Homo-oligomer: A and B are copies of this chain.
Amino acid sequence: MVSSTFYAIIAGVGSGTGRSVALKFARTYPVVLVARKPESYNDIVSEIRQSGGHAIGVSADTSDPAAVSSAFKTIHDEFQGKKLAAAIYNVGAGFAVKPFLETTLSDLDASLSSNARGLFNFSQAVLPSLLSSVPYSPFPPTLIITGATASLKGSARFATFAAGKFAARALAQSLAREFGPQGVHVAHTIIDGVIDIPRTKGREVNGGIEDGKISPDAIAESYWHLHTQHRSAFTQELDLRPYVEKF
């Protein structure tokens, strides 16, 4: 049964990780789906409602502080008196793969905006709510940030993408060390592989072998596990990759 006391927020939903995480968390909590455009969340909202869950969609570019502020006004109105159990930051635009001298400052800014500034705005909006849920939440209130291979390693042609992903990881670590002792679980994930979503359908990965792309539902299972970890045993960083991935 879906909780009537707690809710969860997932920023960055579409056809991949965000959708699967939303569906998974919606089995337990009413969920708020945040995306820049309604097209990204409308179908998921319907899907959750049809299976008996509770979901709303809110449009916001998380890198824009005014938009985040306005979105959270809507969210707080909608969930007045309820407690935030989990917030997932899964926004991942700003992906330009080019030789460095062909990239522009706009490429860098796009990556820093979606990965770092957006996470900053989102974290500032959700952390006070997560903190205030600490005494009540059945599981430690949780903030999960989705990272990538490029969160750990800067590669040729990935300079701007890696810059944003590294910055997000810095924020995640800093928040974990500041808010962990206050009871909020901040975790960062390294999604080290191609996710199996409609957009990557045509891409042959790992020789086209079965399960050579990451199932977004499997990611959602691990996110749920992170959320339900006991506060004496928090994971700060979790890597996920297909069994056949080179690493």
Residues of A within 8 A of B (CB): 65, 99-101, 105, 108-109, 112, 116-117, 120-121, 123-124, 127-128, 140, 150, 153-160, 162-181, 183, 185, 193, 196, 211-215, 217-219, 221-222, 225, 228-245, 247
A109, A211, A215, A243 pick with most chain B CB within 10 angstroms = A243
**A171 and B162 contact, CB distance less than 8 A:** yes
**B243 and A183 contact, CB distance less than 8 A:** yes
Hey, which chain B residues are within 8 Å of A109, CB to CB?
117
A90 CB → nearest B CB, Å: 15
**B153 and A163 contact, CB distance less than 8 A:** no
Q: Which chain B residue lies CB-closest to A63? A: B105
Chosen A-B contacts, 24 in total, with CB atoms closer than 8 Å, are A65-B105, A100-B179, A101-B124, A101-B127, A101-B128, A105-B120, A112-B112, A154-B173, A154-B177, A155-B174, A155-B177, A159-B174, A162-B174, A167-B170, A177-B247, A180-B245, A183-B243, A221-B225, A221-B228, A232-B242, A233-B242, A234-B243, A235-B239, A238-B238
**A175 and B116 contact, CB distance less than 8 A:** no
A170 CB → nearest B CB, Å: 4
**B244 and A181 contact, CB distance less than 8 A:** yes
**A239 and B242 contact, CB distance less than 8 A:** no
Hey, which chain B residues are within 8 Å of A214, CB to CB?
232-233
Hey, which chain B residues are within 8 Å of A237, CB to CB?
239
Hey, which chain B residues are within 8 Å of A180, CB to CB?
243-245
Question: Which single member of B121, B221, B232 contacts A229 (CB below 8 Å)?
Answer: B221
**A241 and B233 contact, CB distance less than 8 A:** yes
